[in-house]
Structure 1
Amino acid sequence: MKANKLGALLLSGMLLLAAAGCGSNGASGTNGANKASGSQEPASSAAGNASGSNGESSAPSTDAKDLKDIKVVLDWTPNTNHTGLYVAQELGYYKEEGLNVQIVQPDEGGADAMIASDAVPFGISYQESITQAQTQGVPLVSIAAVIQHNTSGFAAPADRNIKAPKDFEGKRYGGWGSPVEEAVMKSIMDLQNADVNKVKIINIGDADYFTAVKRDVDFAWIYYAWTGIEAELRGEKLDMLYVKDYSKDLDYYTPVIATNEKEIQQNPDLVKAFMKATSKGYEYAIAHPDEAADILIKAAPDLDPKLVKASQEWLSPRYQDDASRWGEQKESVWTGYANWMYERKLLDKPLDASKAFTNDFLPES
């Protein structure tokens, strides 16, 4: 779950080339209501009909020849951001909708390129990368918010004495080389009359947070649900500065479930069926975090079971949080963050939010 690692704001040329083949020849669905990786190796996807560990029976078996084969691509290695997908697969929710879903890892071009080019119909993305994509004519569309509020922020070992953004001055920040990092840092440091130019920014790429803060840097950007919980389990105290606590515009959706405009235009029934089953998967994870964690552990046995259990317990109530239903997205969140990006010259032009997201395929609450 490295925060925004695969959703960096500057989309690669590969993404743009892939999307060019797909084309953007129409509006996406309209929105009716107007977002610290594990280092585990990719896990094979679990097949779909076993019972959940709470004794709940999965859906009756459907002849495989009657199912439509589709793939959904992750943004990173399996983690608790993805639990609902694995639950929907394991408990037969996808099969109930006539789908045989394979959960796959992104190739070198990344998940966004695979989704935009229609190599896969669905995948995990981020509000910031979809915003950037849409303003560049790349036809990515968000169809659900996995987590209702931004759980990412700047984290530091407690002994670095970083209690507020002003304390970034004179410290070493370890990031992945995206302009958004310095922009967010500057934005929250300005509130305390601090100078972002006094921060030494170091590109640590895919380096593990715990290794990096012991060796190279003082703080980094993480998702608390994974790296923060891991720190708790290790007994390593850290100070966490959630970016959403400093600006409502930074309370964006990360991650999200994405598709492309072609799927919405040509296969709306497929999108609806996929989202009906996926919603059930996340709703199950909200109601049964322990059993849902077991399903993720079964699908990705290389994960640390203690970390998965603790992370799932922390994250499950945050999937839906204060929204009326899981996955709901607000236009104000999309426009607020896009305007923030545009004002800081992270976008070439303003975002038309109506093309970037839709709630139309979520089941009624």
Structure 2
Amino acid sequence: MKKLNRSAACLGSAALVVSLVNACSPADSAKSESSGPKKVTIQIDGAAVPYYAPLYAAKEQGYFAKEGLDVNFTYAQGSDIVKNVAAGNIDFGFPNGDSVITAYGQGIKTKVVHTTYQQGIGALLSSADAKIESPADLKGRTVAVTDLGSPNYIQLQAMLKSANLTTNDLKVRTLGTGVIVDALKNGQVDAIVFSRLRYYALKSAGVDVKQLLSDSYLPSFGNVVVASEDTVNDDPDTVKGFDKALNQGIEYTIKNPDAAVKMSVEKYAPSFKGQEADITTVINDLFAKSLWQSDTTKKDGLGAPDVARWQKAIDSQTDFKLLDSSYKADDLVVKPNDLG
């Protein structure tokens, strides 16, 4: 397989966030036109990548339009997205669930209205030569994370705790997102805790890599849709319409992965041109099987939350001192059937 692009650069600099906020003020973003569809904006974590195909498909296939919505996409860092949604600067956000949990506990409150990724996307990745088969094998090793305040660092601690180890039993290095994967490839570290999507990129690059999924040790969530408390309370129909269209986008992508990826690359993420086959494999093997669908979605529909699992994720952040105190998952997560 061709090498996957590893440079989905984040567009979340302070200057850009300001410009995005100004461009998506409530006066423009959530304004309903009597003569046409309601204009809404969703701010997405990172940059335009083909893995966001369900959102793009919901627009291109007309699912949003059928719900009376004209949806605009912008991009920023997850923590900035949550702040923008909470402040009412944008209508919807699509950040990592871990950042939503942390922000809510710190008083930056949004509502999760669609649990899009039913699992977290963190993983401990290691070269096969390192022979790391379980967290117990991390003793005395060198492991990299991007930041000591990141969810990945908490995931590492949870893995170690399962083996009665702590970070004192190994060497932890902090490396930027642009170099952490190369550090593993070049043998500078024994393992990294990072996105499980990189497992496929490393395999594609010919690296013999193994992975331990963080979710097995610490429940978490990847990208989820959030809205402000005011939007949920005052405009539930828009939230329900957005969720319905997104679900149709997910269903379309699952049934038509080749077409969905091709469209996403051509119209939204042209830097991935030539990698469509590899990306489609990831969509089929990971997103369709584990991230978008779960036992919960089989019972309650796409985007439905496992509230007990959300509670475990919240409590875990408290245990590892990301939050001063826990709170009820029901205060954060909205069940689709409870909307309006």
Alignment of 1:280-319 (within 5 A): 280-298=248-266, 299-303=268-272, 304-314=275-285, 315-318=287-290, 319=292
Partner in structure 2 of residue 355 of structure 1: 331
TM-score of the pair, normalised by structure 2: 0.81
2:45 to 75, 78, 96: 75
Aligned residue number for residue 164 of structure 2: 193
What's the offset of the Cα at 1:80? 4.8
Aligned-partner Cα distance in 2 for 1:279–1:297: 20
Contact 2:122 2:152 in 1 (8 A): no
Measure how far apart 1:163 and its partner are.
Answer: 1.8
Shift of 1:308: 1.8
Q: 1:108 to 1:137 in 2, by over 3 A?
A: closer
Give the direction of change, closer, same or farther, for the CA distance of 1:178–1:144 in structure 2 (3 Å limit): farther
Render the CA deviation track for 1:14-72: whole Å, top value 9, x for unaligned. Answer: xxxxxxxxxxxxxxxxxxxxxx99413589xxxxxxxxxxxxxxxxxxx9951222211
Shift of 1:305: 2.2
Does the CA-based 8 Å contact 1:142-1:356 persist in structure 2? yes
Which residue does the alignment assign to 2:70? 100
* Alpha-carbon spacing, 1:308–1:181, altered in 2? closer, same or farther (3 Å): closer
2:17 matched residue in structure 1: none
The structural deviation recorded for 1:219 is 1.6
Q: CA deviation at 1:117?
A: 1.8
Is the counterpart of residue 320 in structure 1 residue 293 in structure 2? Answer: yes
2:238 counterpart residue number = 270
Counterparts of 1:316 and 1:64 in 2: how far apart (Å)? 38
Instruction: Give the paired residue count.
Output: 305
TM-score under structure 1 normalisation? 0.76
Q: Which has the higher helix share?
A: 2
| 1:107–1:234 Cα change, 3 Å | closer
- 1:120 corresponds, among 90, 97, 102, to 90
Counterparts of residues 129-144 of structure 1 (less than 5 Å):
129-144=99-114
* Contact 1:143–1:361 (8 Å) recurs in 2: no
Aligned to 1:220: 192
**Structure 1, unaligned runs of 5 or more:** 1-35, 44-62
Cα RMSD for the two superposed structures:
2.7
Partners in 2 of 1:219 and 1:129 — Cα distance? 24
| Contact kept in structure 2, 1:116 and 1:260, CA below 8 Å | yes
Does structure 2 retain, via aligned residues, the 8 Å contact 1:115–1:259?
yes
Provide, for residues 270-290 of structure 1, a one-character-per-residue CA deviation record: whole Å limited to 9, x for no partner: 111111111110121122222
| Cα deviation, residue 215, structure 1 | 6.0
Instruction: Tell me, in whole angstroms, the C-alpha distance in 1 between the residues paired with 2:338 and 2:254.
Output: 16
8 Å Cα contact 1:286-1:317 kept in structure 2: no
The answer to whether 1:343 aligns with 2:314 is no
**Does the 8 Å CA contact 1:73/1:105 hold for their aligned counterparts?**
yes
For the 8 Å contact 1:131–1:351, the answer to whether it is kept is: no
Question: Counterpart of 2:14?
Answer: none
Contact in 2 for aligned 1:80/1:311 (Cα 8 Å): no
**In 2 relative to 1, CA 188–353 (structure 1 residues): closer, same or farther, beyond 3 Å?**
same
Deviation at 1:195, TM superposition (A): 3.9
SS in 2 for 1:104: strand
What code does the residue aligned with 2:177 have? D
Conserved in 2, the CA contact under 8 Å of 1:222 and 1:228?
no
Q: List 4+ stretches of structure 1 deviating above 6 A.
A: none
Deviations 1:230-254 (A, max 9, x none): 1222221111001222x3xx23222
Cα distance in 2 for residues equivalent to 1:158 and 1:86: 36
Query: Which residue number corresponds to residue 162 of structure 1?
Result: 132
Shift of 1:264: 0.8
Cα deviation for residue 210 of structure 1 reads: 3.1
Question: SS in structure 1 opposite 2:271?
Answer: coil
Deviation at 1:343, TM superposition (A): 2.5
> Does the 8 Å CA contact 1:154/1:222 hold for their aligned counterparts?
yes
